[in-house]
A and B are shown apart, each in its own frame.
Chain A
Amino acid sequence: MMGRTASAQVSGSLQRPMGFWHRLHLDPLLLLLLMLLAGGGLVVLYSGADASMAAVKSQAIRFGVAFVALFVFAQLDPSVYRRWSPWMYAAGMAGLIAVLLVGVGAKGAQRWLALPGLPRFQPSEIMKLVVPMMAAWYLSRHYLPPRFRHVVLSVGLVLLPMGLIIQQPDLGTALLVGAAGMFVVFFAGLSWKLIAGFIALLGVAAPLMWHFVMRDYQKQRVLTLLDPQSDPLGAGWNIIQSTTAIGSGGWSGKGWLQGTQSHLEFLPESHTDFIVAVLAEEFGFVGLLTLLAVYTLIILRCLYIAVNAQDSFSRLLAGALTMTFVVYIVVNIGMVSGLLPVVGVPLPLVSYGGTSIVTLMSAFGVLMAIHTHRRMITA
């Protein structure tokens, strides 16, 4: 081990020797779990993309890029994130406003920003990281638990970008960004009274949202969830076909590449948002439990990192990022199994598609940074 040579770089006295992984600022356990998930995901993806090696290759390349991003984010000291939070937040907000003004997109939604000299990117995607950082930065400046006005202000900091993303419109991302921010507020110690108040407020706001905020297609998705058979060939098609795929999988599934629902193209989006239905059809209930087990291990490791973080900012950020990951999982699987309305949220690290993988891996990079930049002089 190289622990001894590295020790000189860190100021202060060290309690324990630093290992190879620590010097790389990577967490081997978390990395292993992520690799396991990515690898298994590619196997399912191969089937979901109708045995297309091309899809697997391009997804593998994305994972490559994402792991580079993870590595880069892991190298930065959490204090750097903390210091830069307000500026990144400001830049992100500018990006969101720019998207609404000059953004490009498809299918009636403006989500992309094409700045000259830069690759096309989605500012809303970056906000999944920046919003919790900003909230953590703001709340960790004060005593915790936060006072009411701090809560109000931090909630405002979260709702502002969320509102802009809804305007694009991109409900899925808005939900994730909002959740990321709100988890920070929760971890900071939002009083249970206020939480109860929030829930009550939501109960009152829901009917108002239904009438004044939600768009027709969003209402339709909710209605479809309640009764998929009302429009079996239209909006209900996805839910009917995905529950059929899942249900027909049984205990142990139909076998890899043997899923009739996905391979005969009854299941829409089988390699993107609905990939868990492919998994459940081909690997059955056992396959799903395995997936949930891997996710659980990742979550446990992340929460362990959060609990052991050294300062409030790191703790809040780590907790919020972990719980955002949970939201991805629950919303996606809930949607595919017909528990939640259809929202465009991918199954993290399994669904085909670039942006979310890079964002998620970056978040894990931040978590690893939090874990490996600890100064070992804690009380």
Chain B
Amino acid sequence: MAWGEFKDTAAERRLFHRRTLVMLGLVVVMFGILAGRFYQLQVIEHETYTTISDRNRVQVRSVPPTRGLIYDRNGTLIAENRPVFSVTLVPERVEDMDATLERLQSLLTVSDENVERFRRRLKEPRRPFQELPLHYDLTEQEIASMAVHRHELPGVEVSAELVRHYPFGELNAHALGYVGRVNREELQRIDPVNYAGTNYIGKSGVEKVYEKVLHGTVGYEHVETNARGRTLRVLERESPVPGENLALHLDMRMQKRAFELLEGHRGAIVAIDSRTGGILALASVPGFDANQFVTGISVDDYQKLRDSRDKPLFNRALRGQYPPGSTIKPMLLMAGLDSGTVTRETSIWDPGYYQINDKGRRYRDWKRGGHGWVDGRRAVAESCDIYFYDLGVEMGVDGMHRYLAGFGFGMDATLDVSGALPGLLPSRDWKQGMRNEPWYTGDSVNMSIGQGFFLATPMQLATATMVVANRGRWVQPRMLKDVEGDTPLEAVLPGETMADLTVDNHDDWEFVVDSMEDVMHGPKGTARRAAEGADYRMAGKTGTAQVFSLAEDEEYDEEEVRERLRDHALFIGFAPVDDPRIVVSVIVENGGSGSGTAAPVARAMFDAWLERPDDESPVISQAGGTQP
């Protein structure tokens, strides 16, 4: 059909007019619906949407408190908060994700593991403009390189967070403990309100015990945010209460000295201020760098630490349970005197061995041929085993148990030290219960020289020594010296629970102390060499803990035993004798003899504490006892 053919134009026009009217009607209806919808949203439901909009805009955000700092007794900062930077991405703002990730990997050392995890999270549903973390803990160099290149990388952000840092690294891991990321188990325990926004929690040591004080109280901010959660304006603020700063009794110079002294060995040193019970040094060697655990240690690094033969993760000072050996002899002498089992004058003949009855097993003395006639004082000074075998058998397990418990054996007598083990103070009931065996006299023989079932930690040995040094007066070992701020010390430090060890004749203490003084200064004292040249008097006791037991009458040559099978060297002591200011316990694993290896270490610790210049030791100057 061609153009110009006759058409009824008038009819077509009328048809079009009708259709236009229909369309016009449709427009009116549709615009009416739209206007109605807006009327519904803007007028009828206005209140609802205003609320939603405000809730959108105004967020109540928790402001985590800053964790309290920890100082040693001299004001040296030993736990601080350091800003740690991490790289986050806002996927919506990234133009080319693959190129950006590739570029970031060339700029930073982002592990493939992190990239993988990031890509996984990218696929998960999330709120638009939410930041996704890619890489944690940037080095100085990485921060600098991000600062230079960030403008080339839209959507890439660097965010900062305060993270715990221990400036002394491995020196303090066991003494101070450390914080780590809150785990699922802890989440159930903590107050979700106060910990909103807190990522780290004390995992061990002081950080764990004083978590509540160190953490502080969460604060709040009513902030206007955009959809990315970026704060634009703070409308209202309730400031968080930062955690309180703590001062510990710990002395970093003592702590450092302890590590120097045990360099190349495995062992532990506990040094305590005997007047206050303040722990001056708590060293377990080798240590580890707790900073690794704060942000999360890699599996490889953790396995390396865990599988090391030297067991750096093992806190020997608090959890190493060793046979205390001869170091318990002074306490047993006290027990013998007070219980009347022996007197100060009691002497026995030491032929070099001990028999419960004539045909019985011969228990050897460490000295072949014996010590001859020995009294209690000489028995301690020369560490005569036979005297104590006799004392132990005479006194019996029940007596020994009663007195030794009074010295804190078999329990954790510390006030605020986390993770201290109780050791094992054997008793008749214990043996019946655990082994289903009666107590034999032979068990008493072993127990009397700190062998057999008897186990104690270096912390317990130091504590028991402190009881001797203080002549029966108990001060329980503690870490916390002072709380900065309004909180009184008594409010956070647990109360003392140990009763003083009272004896019938107080002079008996002097007899025991004298015997320990003879160990250091006596002509035949086992550790006399370690005390040479000191201008103060000290008291001590050596000990040896067998790693494996020897058969009766069997000789053994130290040289033949591989290093790892050598005896543990032990030493306990305090100084000065008449006005004790420091007690020390030392264990050197496989160190051989207590006198040769452990005693010089303790002597060096005494020197370090007692020969300090006055101005640096306010505690000593306050006490007035300036000269040893």
Partner-B contacts on A (CB < 8 A):
141-145, 183, 186-187, 189, 231, 233-234, 237, 241, 243-251, 260-261, 264-266, 268, 280, 284-285, 288-289, 292, 295-296, 299-300, 303, 306-307, 311-312, 315-316, 319, 322-323, 326, 330, 333-334, 337-339, 379
Question: Which residues on the B side are within 8 Å of A334 (C-beta)?
Answer: 33-34, 37
Question: Which residues on the A side are within 8 Å of B3 (C-beta)?
Answer: 141
Residue of B nearest to A190 (CB): B19
Whole-angstrom distance between the alpha carbons of A321 and B149 in the complex? 50
Given the known interface contacts A246-B41, A337-B34, the answer about A323 and B23 at a Cβ–Cβ threshold of 8 Å is: yes
Given the known interface contacts A141-B1, A299-B27, A326-B30, the answer about A250 and B20 at a Cβ–Cβ threshold of 8 Å is: no
Contact B224 A264 (CB under 8 A): yes
Residue of B nearest to A319 (CB): B20
Q: 0/1 per residue, B370-410, Cβ < 8 Å to A?
A: 00000000000000000000000000000000000000000
Whole-angstrom distance between the alpha carbons of A235 and B125 in the complex? 10
Given the known interface contacts A187-B16, A233-B127, A319-B20, the answer about A266 and B37 at a Cβ–Cβ threshold of 8 Å is: no
Given the known interface contacts A264-B57, A337-B41, the answer about A303 and B24 at a Cβ–Cβ threshold of 8 Å is: yes
Residue of B nearest to A141 (CB): B1
Whole-angstrom distance between the alpha carbons of A338 and B50 in the complex? 17
Contact A251 B43 (CB under 8 A): yes
Q: Which of B163-171, B226-234, B340-348 contacts A (4 or more CB under 8 A)?
A: B226-234
> Can you show 28 pairs from A to B with CB atoms below 8 A apart?
A142-B1, A143-B8, A144-B11, A145-B15, A187-B20, A241-B56, A247-B42, A247-B48, A248-B53, A249-B42, A261-B57, A264-B57, A264-B225, A264-B226, A265-B228, A266-B227, A284-B42, A292-B34, A299-B27, A312-B9, A312-B16, A315-B13, A326-B27, A330-B30, A334-B37, A337-B34, A337-B37, A339-B33
Contact B15 A296 (CB under 8 A): no
Question: Which residues on the A side are within 8 Å of B10 (C-beta)?
Answer: 379
Residue of A nearest to B50 (CB): A248
Residue of A nearest to B42 (CB): A285
Report if B220 contacts A (CB, 8 A).
Answer: no
Question: Which residues on the A side are within 8 Å of B129 (C-beta)?
Answer: 265
Report if B117 contacts A (CB, 8 A).
Answer: no
Contact B42 A265 (CB under 8 A): no
Given the known interface contacts A244-B53, A337-B37, the answer about A264 and B12 at a Cβ–Cβ threshold of 8 Å is: no
Q: Which B47-64 residues have a C-beta within 8 angstroms of A?
A: 48-50, 52-53, 56-57
Given the known interface contacts A145-B15, A307-B20, A339-B33, the answer about A261 and B56 at a Cβ–Cβ threshold of 8 Å is: yes
Residue of A nearest to B12 (CB): A144
Contact A288 B53 (CB under 8 A): no
Contact A247 B45 (CB under 8 A): yes
Contact A248 B52 (CB under 8 A): yes
Whole-angstrom distance between the alpha carbons of A264 and B59 in the complex? 12
Contact A250 B43 (CB under 8 A): yes
Whole-angstrom distance between the alpha carbons of A234 and B125 in the complex? 7
- Nearest 7 A-B pairs (CB), nearest first? A247-B49, A248-B53, A264-B226, A233-B127, A247-B41, A265-B226, A285-B42
Whole-angstrom distance between the alpha carbons of A203 and B12 in the complex? 31
Whole-angstrom distance between the alpha carbons of A121 and B511 in the complex? 106
Question: Which residues on the B side are within 8 Å of A326 (C-beta)?
Answer: 23, 26-27, 30
Given the known interface contacts A268-B128, A330-B30, the answer about A337 and B53 at a Cβ–Cβ threshold of 8 Å is: no
Residue of A nearest to B55 (CB): A244
Contact B20 A144 (CB under 8 A): no
Contact A250 B42 (CB under 8 A): yes
Contact B34 A306 (CB under 8 A): no
Contact B42 A244 (CB under 8 A): no
Contact B19 A187 (CB under 8 A): yes
Question: Which residues on the B side are within 8 Å of A264 (C-beta)?
Answer: 56-57, 224-227, 232
Report if B7 contacts A (CB, 8 A).
Answer: yes
Contact A307 B16 (CB under 8 A): yes
Contact A280 B57 (CB under 8 A): no
Question: Which residues on the A side are within 8 Å of B46 (C-beta)?
Answer: 247-248, 250-251
Whole-angstrom distance between the alpha carbons of A299 and B27 in the complex? 9
Contact B20 A285 (CB under 8 A): no
Contact A285 B43 (CB under 8 A): yes
Interface centre among A247, A261, A315, A330 (most CB of B within 10 A): A247
Contact B19 A244 (CB under 8 A): no
Contact A266 B30 (CB under 8 A): no
Interface centre among B13, B15, B39 (most CB of A within 10 A): B13
Whole-angstrom distance between the alpha carbons of A289 and B8 in the complex? 41
Question: Which residues on the A side are within 8 Å of B127 (C-beta)?
Answer: 233, 237
Report if B506 contacts A (CB, 8 A).
Answer: no
Question: Which residues on the B side are within 8 Å of A339 (C-beta)?
Answer: 33-34, 37
**What's the minimum C-beta distance from A216 to chain B, rounded to whole angstroms?**
15
Question: Which residues on the A side are within 8 Å of B16 (C-beta)?
Answer: 187, 189, 306-307, 312, 315-316, 319
Whole-angstrom distance between the alpha carbons of A311 and B52 in the complex? 54
Given the known interface contacts A250-B46, A296-B27, A337-B41, the answer about A261 and B53 at a Cβ–Cβ threshold of 8 Å is: yes
Contact A330 B227 (CB under 8 A): no
Report if B564 contacts A (CB, 8 A).
Answer: no
Question: Which residues on the A side are within 8 Å of B7 (C-beta)?
Answer: 143-144, 312
Whole-angstrom distance between the alpha carbons of A143 and B16 in the complex? 13
Whole-angstrom distance between the alpha carbons of A265 and B23 in the complex? 38
Given the known interface contacts A292-B34, A334-B34, the answer about A260 and B57 at a Cβ–Cβ threshold of 8 Å is: yes
Question: Which residues on the B side are within 8 Å of A266 (C-beta)?
Answer: 56-57, 226-227
**What's the minimum C-beta distance from A325 to chain B, rounded to whole angstroms?**
10
